[in-house]
Amino acid sequence: MTAKDATSIRDALKSAVVQAMKRRDSEALAVYRTALAAIDNAEAVPIGPSNPVGAIELSAVGVGRTEAQRRALTEQDMIDIVSREADERRAAADSMSGLHPAEAQQLRREAGVLQALTDDVRARAEE
């Protein structure tokens, strides 16, 4: 499966990671991995009353006692996360374009890579 064939953004990102590795494209590889990490971080269990943090001596004891379900994200949630990653890169590029034009251009390329991937996934989902 290639990124163009995937209908899930997570599958498209994983496929894109493999393709970037084959092409030895370290820039794209870093962008795709960062987007996957952003999705994984969004699925993390929030700390709150149901998942308290406290003294170790008060923690649950036994196998599986400390396991918690990760947050379930919809496909649209994941697409939004990747789109925000692209938006953040564009905003950073805009803020640094005067002082660091090369770095700003790099950030714009990275945003374009992510935008192209999300556009492909959206188009596949509409078919």
Predicted TM-score of the model (pTM) = 0.78
Here the CATH number for the domain that contains residue 114 is: 1.10.1510.10
Residue 60 DSSP label: -
- Structural tokens at position 76: 């649209």
- Domain membership of residue 3 (yes or no) is no
Number of neighbouring beta carbons within 10 Å of residue 113: 19
Domain count for the chain: 1
CA 88, 74, 36, 112 torsion: positive or negative? negative
In order along its 127 residues, the chain shows pLDDT tens digits of 555 556 799 999 999 999 999 999 999 999 999 999 999 999 987 766 655 566 666 666 665 555 667 788 999 999 999 999 999 999 999 999 889 999 999 999 999 999 999 999 988 888 7
Distance separating alpha carbons of residues 88 and 67, to the nearest angstrom: 33
Q: Which domain range does residue 83 map to?
A: 9-126
- Domain membership of residue 4 (yes or no) is no
Alpha-carbon distances of 1 from 14, 17, 24, 25, 72, rounded to whole Å: 10, 12, 19, 19, 24
- Domain membership of residue 88 (yes or no) is yes
